[in-house]
Amino acid sequence: MAELAANKADRINIEWTSNAINYLVSFLKTINKPFLVEDVRNYSITYGLEPPPDGRAWGHVIKLAQKNNLVETCGFRAANSSNGSPKVLWKKKEF
């Protein structure tokens, strides 16, 4: 579903996914602690990325980042965007 949501975002806003990845990379340069996808999303919106029509598109973005060895999971934390439900906690990979 995340990939379908990202494809829809790309149809509506050309290259949304690649732009979101660029914002994720910028975000990673600013943080040295574990984070939630909602933190990346808030950062990106603050700095000018238009939100996708379906927020699940961010799931595809973070999975692409994981596949490209930019981030890795490191646990779970309650997310404000999900009424306190636990969400995957991420950290940037150290090289």
Burial class (CB in 10 A: 0-12, 13-18, 19+), 85: exposed
- Write out the two tokens for 5: 């949501």
Give the percent of the chain with pLDDT over 70.
Answer: 97
Extended strands (E) in 1-95? 71-78, 86-92
Nearest of 12, 10, 58 to residue 35 by alpha carbon: 58
Q: How far apart are CA 66 and CA 84, in angstroms?
A: 24
CATH number of 42's domain: 1.10.10
If one counts the domains in the chain, the total is 1
How does residue 95 score in pLDDT terms, banded at 50, 70 and 90? low
Residues 72-90 have a mean pLDDT of 92
Q: For the whole model, what pTM was predicted?
A: 0.88
Strand 86-92 with 71-78, pairing: antiparallel
Find the domain containing 77 and state its range: 2-92
Does 47 have pLDDT greater than 80?
yes
